[in-house]
Structure 1
Amino acid sequence: MSRRRATAGLLAAAALTGCGGEAPEPPLPAATSPAAEPVRIAAGPTGQTAVLAHVYAGRLREAGFDASVVDAGTDRADYLGALERGDVEVAADYSGNLYLYLRGRAPVEPATATATDGTTPTPTPTPTPSPEAEDGGLAEDLSELLGLGEERADADDVLAGVRDVLPEGLQVLEPAPAENTVAVVVTRPTAVEHGLTDLEDLGPVCAELALGTDLDFAGRSYGPEGLEDAYECMPGRLVPFGEQADLVDALLEDRVQAAALFTASPAIEDNALVVLADPLNNFVPQRVLPVAAEDLPDGAADVVDALSAQIGTEDLVLMTRMTSARDPYTPEEAARYWLEGGDDT
């Protein structure tokens, strides 16, 4: 039995719950010249960006470009250096993490990357923090880094910040609606019991609940300090976990009543968890953001921009599900599946 047939049930379940798999296909901008124009795409810093790289390559080839995916390393310094040297022309990243990296701060990623959290098995290396960096977290509040004063940063602020600090010779293309940011989630019974839809609802009952987190949460600016400042939310207990699977089990067994998870985690959909909205932007925005060389052909940029508009968070969930299954798809196989609209042939 082929792996595609063996995993058909998993993907069918994803489709039934609204998880991507049917990528719209807008008209493709045509290449400005015959298929001679090479476009090399870096696999990027995570497993999700590796799938996205193959998605970009597939759609660019459909448009007539000679597109390929190359391994430029999972360290952001590696792929940015490859872009600056002209070794690659495009890479996908996450807006918040890219901004924090470029400012010399620690990106918002789990201390231990696992197959279920959408990252590669080896955590992305981070730059050496600047002297004023705080131990275990962001050096300063994100809004302070962006020069916003007491106003909290939203996704557009972070995008503008990336543009301001991006190395010379590079550009950012249109961000996708897709995001993979930290969020507080609860089970549906807990949401109903306390009337929870967003973090403002959580504030008044926060002291009654235990919050499960990854190992770094307590030291982040959006952690306990951020929740208290934005929402007057002071969890009764903060319970750190080294593995996402253990954290999810604790939530389902009511050993913790809320959990901080990444929004593109399949565990949210698989367990019908409720993601509490963050109206005051406590958490760092993490939109999927293509980074490109300034000399990328305009036609290629148009193709990637059109494609980005079609990639939502549910598509990241599907990509993560496929590449982290017991018998995982490769990033190239997952990208082909998505590009073919989920047709399991």
Structure 2
Amino acid sequence: MSRLRAASGLLALAVLTGCAGAPEAPATPSPSATPSAPAEPIRIAAGPTGQTAVLAHVYAGRLREAGFDAGVVDAGAGRADYLAALERGDVELVADYSGNLYLHLRGRAPVGPAGAAPTGIATPSPTPTPEERGLAEDLSELLGLGEERADDDDVLAGVREVLPEGLRVLEPAPAENTVAVVVTRATAVEHGLSDLEDLGPVCDEIALGTGLDFAGRSYGPEGLKDAYECVPRSFVPFAEQDELVDALLGDRVQAAALFTASPAIEDNALVVLADPLNNFVPQRVVPVGDRKLPDAAVQVVEEVSAQIDTDDLVLMTRMTTARDPYTPEEAARYWLEGGDDT
């Protein structure tokens, strides 16, 4: 990235993020992570979304700093494509989302845009068939939890159990991109809302704006009713997130279902209502690698992955979807350099 481009890019980013500061510079890998001898190249698949493409370049950049020959390759955006590439040995690493990865491995339909849209922004998806309904219930059933709903640890354990032979799950990042119900601060104060249990008693007073596929998901009307006795006055579907957010800010709907890594939440100071009963499918960022990946490389990836939280996903999304967007490689470099023009 040229100094002129970096300067203009950072100015644009400052306008986008307001008073938010640049991410702190991640720690330099420990010397123990540096390979003692030349290793085979490490090829990293870009993965299913724009976020995972940035993460792939983050992994590659940190691995190169540690002395590995690492690069990002296009192995297809579909899970079947890049998982097959991992099994064939065409790539050695990819970042994915835990819930959608597990559902894919068990032959179920993924949960909408967390595994399909580069920005974490809701996009239309086909209406689920009857066999695809009951997703949250099916998830718990597949995991052997009975009526108990699955949490992050349950899903990650499930992924480890069903991952194809020869592959392994590295330690997940704190970052997640899952569905959540959000409200404006005014609505949160008016009704004393901090989680979905608070929403239940006043749910009949609100209209809930959603993506087009929300009504066909078990975490939608059925899940909210069963888990929180929440039956909104109405469900209002939107094809575009911008329209949904405008409706929320204009009080045409009083709550909205968004993905947690959407910049719209931070930009509009929206309140994310906690989901203590795990109605929504967990979607942690998780690196998946070949079992032959050197231990020193695994250590590097896990160290950098541990530093990536949901705010970082928001930043990466913001950078790659700005009016003058950064490429995934440029966004990764910005993150790795701690936002400094070096």
For this structure pair, what is the TM-score category when the shorter chain's length is used for normalisation? over 0.9
Matched, 1:285 2:313: no
Query: Residue in 1 aligned with 2:23?
Result: 21
Matched, 1:313 2:310: yes
Query: Residue in 2 aligned with 1:95?
Result: 98
C-alpha deviation, 1:71, in angstroms: 0.5
Measured in 2, the distance between the counterparts of 1:304 and 1:200 equals 37
The answer to whether the 8 Å contact 1:47/1:320 transfers is yes
Q: What's the secondary structure of 1:322's corresponding residue?
A: helix
Q: What's the secondary structure of 2:75's corresponding residue?
A: coil
Unaligned runs of 5+ in 1: none
Instruction: Map 1:1-345; keep pairs closer than 5 Å.
Output: 2-12=4-14, 18=20, 21-28=23-30, 29-110=32-113, 116-117=119-120, 133-134=131-132, 138=135, 140-344=137-341
The alpha-carbon distance between structure 1 residues 115 and 253, as it changes in their structure 2 partners (threshold 3 A), is farther
C-alpha deviation, 1:138, in angstroms: 2.7
| Aligned-residue identity in percent | 77
For residue 4 of structure 1, what is the amino acid of its counterpart?
A
Q: What's the secondary structure of 1:176's corresponding residue?
A: coil
Q: What's the secondary structure of 2:104's corresponding residue?
A: helix
Measured in 2, the distance between the counterparts of 1:261 and 1:291 equals 26
Measured in 2, the distance between the counterparts of 1:146 and 1:115 equals 28
C-alpha deviation, 1:245, in angstroms: 0.9
Measured in 2, the distance between the counterparts of 1:103 and 1:113 equals 18
Q: What's the secondary structure of 2:13's corresponding residue?
A: helix
The answer to whether the 8 Å contact 1:114/1:243 transfers is no
For residue 7 of structure 1, what is the amino acid of its counterpart?
G
Q: What's the secondary structure of 1:325's corresponding residue?
A: coil
The answer to whether the 8 Å contact 2:137/2:149 transfers is no
Q: What's the secondary structure of 1:212's corresponding residue?
A: strand
Measured in 2, the distance between the counterparts of 1:48 and 1:300 equals 21
The answer to whether the 8 Å contact 2:49/2:115 transfers is no
For residue 77 of structure 1, what is the amino acid of its counterpart?
A
The alpha-carbon distance between structure 1 residues 115 and 88, as it changes in their structure 2 partners (threshold 3 A), is closer
Measured in 2, the distance between the counterparts of 1:139 and 1:284 equals 6
C-alpha deviation, 1:38, in angstroms: 1.2
C-alpha deviation, 1:7, in angstroms: 3.2
Measured in 2, the distance between the counterparts of 1:14 and 1:25 equals 26
Measured in 2, the distance between the counterparts of 1:112 and 1:155 equals 16
Q: What's the secondary structure of 2:256's corresponding residue?
A: strand
For residue 105 of structure 1, what is the amino acid of its counterpart?
R
Give the TM-score, by structure 1 length.
Answer: 0.91
C-alpha deviation, 1:69, in angstroms: 0.5
Q: What's the secondary structure of 2:107's corresponding residue?
A: coil
Measured in 1, the distance between the counterparts of 2:144 and 2:304 equals 32
For residue 23 of structure 2, what is the amino acid of its counterpart?
G
C-alpha deviation, 1:141, in angstroms: 3.1
The alpha-carbon distance between structure 1 residues 114 and 86, as it changes in their structure 2 partners (threshold 3 A), is closer
Measured in 2, the distance between the counterparts of 1:298 and 1:217 equals 41
Measured in 2, the distance between the counterparts of 1:6 and 1:113 equals 30
Please list the CA deviations of residues 190-248 of structure 1 after superposition, one character each: whole Å capped at 9, or x if unmatched.
Answer: 10111100101000011100000001111111111101111111111100111111111
Give the length in aligned residue pairs: 338
CA RMSD, 1 decimal:
2.5
Measured in 2, the distance between the counterparts of 1:255 and 1:33 equals 61
Please list the CA deviations of residues 135-171 of structure 1 after superposition, one character each: whole Å capped at 9, or x if unmatched.
Answer: 5x63843211211001111000000000111011100
The alpha-carbon distance between structure 1 residues 50 and 114, as it changes in their structure 2 partners (threshold 3 A), is closer
For residue 147 of structure 2, what is the amino acid of its counterpart?
E
Please list the CA deviations of residues 7-37 of structure 1 after superposition, one character each: whole Å capped at 9, or x if unmatched.
Answer: 3234235666557622421533433333443
The alpha-carbon distance between structure 1 residues 20 and 165, as it changes in their structure 2 partners (threshold 3 A), is farther
The answer to whether the 8 Å contact 1:110/1:214 transfers is no
The answer to whether the 8 Å contact 1:172/1:290 transfers is yes
The answer to whether the 8 Å contact 2:109/2:132 transfers is no
Measured in 1, the distance between the counterparts of 2:199 and 2:314 equals 25
Give the TM-score, by structure 2 length.
Answer: 0.92
Task: Report the structure, 1 or 2, having the larger helix content.
Answer: 2
The answer to whether the 8 Å contact 1:217/1:223 transfers is yes
Measured in 1, the distance between the counterparts of 2:163 and 2:199 equals 37
Q: Which moved more, 1:175-184 or 1:10-19?
A: 10-19
The alpha-carbon distance between structure 1 residues 101 and 63, as it changes in their structure 2 partners (threshold 3 A), is same
Measured in 2, the distance between the counterparts of 1:308 and 1:18 equals 22
The answer to whether the 8 Å contact 1:41/1:69 transfers is yes
The alpha-carbon distance between structure 1 residues 15 and 327, as it changes in their structure 2 partners (threshold 3 A), is closer
Measured in 1, the distance between the counterparts of 2:291 and 2:39 equals 19
